Amino acid sequence: MCQSVAESYAGKSIFVTGCTGFLGKVLLEKILYSCSDVKKIYILLRGKRGLTVQERLKTMLELPVFSRLNRENAKFIDKIEPIVGDVSQEGLGISPEDKVTLINEVSYVFHSAALIKFIEPLHNLLNINVKGTERVLSLCKCMKKLEVLVHVSTVYSNTHKIFIEEKVYPSPIPLSMVDHLIKEQPDEERTKTIIRDEPNAYTFSKKLGEALLAEKHGHVPVIIIRPSIVTASLSEPIPGWIDNWNGATGLIGTTSKGILRVVSGNGRNVLDLIPVDYVVNLTIVAATKKILPQSVKVYACATSTEKPLTLRDLLNLTTISRKRNKFNELPCPSVYFTNSKFLLVFLSAVLQTSPLTLADALLRISGKDPKYRKILRRIEQVRDVLQIFTTNSWKFSTINNYCLFSSLSPSDQKTFPFSPSLINWSEYIPIYFDGMVKYLFKKNPVSSALP
């Protein structure tokens, strides 16, 4: 009889990078909750803003994302061991003593630490997303009990095709150039020349990270998880959990407020969203399926093929939640899509800049500080960065995802759902919207879709 997923982790230790990130927090919580017999979870942490790693850990574990663990199993904290380090530093900045511990104890490595800002100097992205991955791999090569290295990438690491398969594609540049580019610190114009047709420097760096693992992993079995746009949790650890404005959340929030009204692209384009708990469940399950040491296995976690959601459908569903919550600050919020640069500029001036200038003038008259033009400038920068994702549609093969989920027992399928076919958008989007209201705007949703 095959082991259950939880049994695969029993008595074994795990090393996780990126635990302070959105996905990392949910990953840590889910392992501790559903694989409670795990021996120890070592998490890479660096001191920040004058806080020690112990203080950062304590603050993090007080967040709502850990509420069910705190409620049901207060001793879970005993299984977490913070390791002082930083993926941007040589040797991960880990002390010799901690390195010995990891080498002797760790069976599973989850590498989710990454710099995810699209507007970021190329040399920073390469140092963290490529060299950081190489540093984790180097440590893995020393680990005596290692069963697998699981690396979190993105489905957008390969946008040169319309249909992207679950395989590693060739590197766009020789990997030997990475060190040189980090030292060179190329400016914006030089960066555009280097990344060529890639959407941005972030996706370029993630593509290089995958290629590095494929080329240099040696005897280390590697699994690459490729999520699409990671959004609020569907059900675990709490429905609607979200802690950042990245990706689709900023688009939903600002269009629903009535601030952003003009978006590049076509309403028929698919925006590939995936709940964070689905990504985490796939990550945990995939690690337990043994692969050969010389193998690199890729799993996509995306919805465009099995459960496509168009931009127009997304906005129609958020409109229902917006009206229920009386969410808009400005009257008659609506969104216009255009592929014309001229119309983008013209409509933005007429439908965004002019009304918001008037709204700020009314605030001044009433003795309040103006805010809308300032907000709009930030929002339009984000809109322009996201333009590649709203003006294009891709399809991502999820056949490995499908086969893996099908291989699970009914019990594990229930405990670790990750098949895109299970998602119902008309049920999920209200949960996502209400989570945004509750956890980002710190307000109670009206007639909440949350339990």
Domain containing 75 equals 5-242+272-308+394-424
264 domain-assigned:
no
Residue 236 lies inside a defined structural domain of this protein: yes
Determine if the pTM surpasses 0.85. yes
The predicted structure's pLDDT at residue 298: 96
Q: Is residue 114 part of a domain?
A: yes
Q: What's the structural domain count of the chain?
A: 1
* Residue 313 counted as domain residue: no
pLDDT at 419: 96
Residue 16 lies in a domain: yes
Write down the pLDDT at residue 143.
96
For position 72, which CATH number holds? 3.40.50.720
Asked if residue 439 belongs to a domain, the reply is no
**Averaged pLDDT in 10-residue chunks for the chain of 451 residues:** 88 96 97 95 88 88 93 88 94 95 97 89 95 97 96 92 92 92 90 88 94 94 96 96 90 86 90 97 95 88 94 92 84 83 89 85 87 80 80 92 95 96 96 95 82 73
Query: Does 357 map to a domain?
Result: no
SS (H, E, C) the chain: CCCCHHHHHECCEEEEECCCCHHHHHHHHHHHHHCCCECEEEEEECCECCECHHHHHHHHHCCHHHHHHHHHCHHHHHHEEEEECCCCCHHHHCCHHHHHHHHHHEEEEEECCCCCCCCCCHHHHHHHHHHHHHHHHHHHCCCCCCCEEEEECCHHHCCCCCEECCCCCCCCCCCCHHHHHHHHCCCHHHHHHHHCCCCCHHHHHHHHHHHHHHHHCCCCCEEEEEECEEECCCCCCCCCCCCCCCCHHHHHHHHHHCCCCEEECCCCCECCEEEHHHHHHHHHHHHHCCCCCCCEEEEEECCCCCCCCEHHHHHHHHHHHHHHHCCCCCCCCCCEEECCHHHHHHHHHHHHHHHHHHHHHHHHHCCCCCCHHHHHHHHHHHHHHCHHHHCCCCEECCHHHHHHHHCCCHHHHHHCCCCHHHCCHHHHHHHHHHHHHHHCCCCCCCCCCCC
What is the predicted pLDDT for the residue at 440?
Answer: 94
Domain assignment present for residue 204? The answer is yes
Per-residue confidence (pLDDT) for residue 285, from 0 to 100: 97
How do residues 326-367 score in pLDDT, each as one tens digit?
887 777 678 889 989 899 889 888 888 888 888 888 889 988
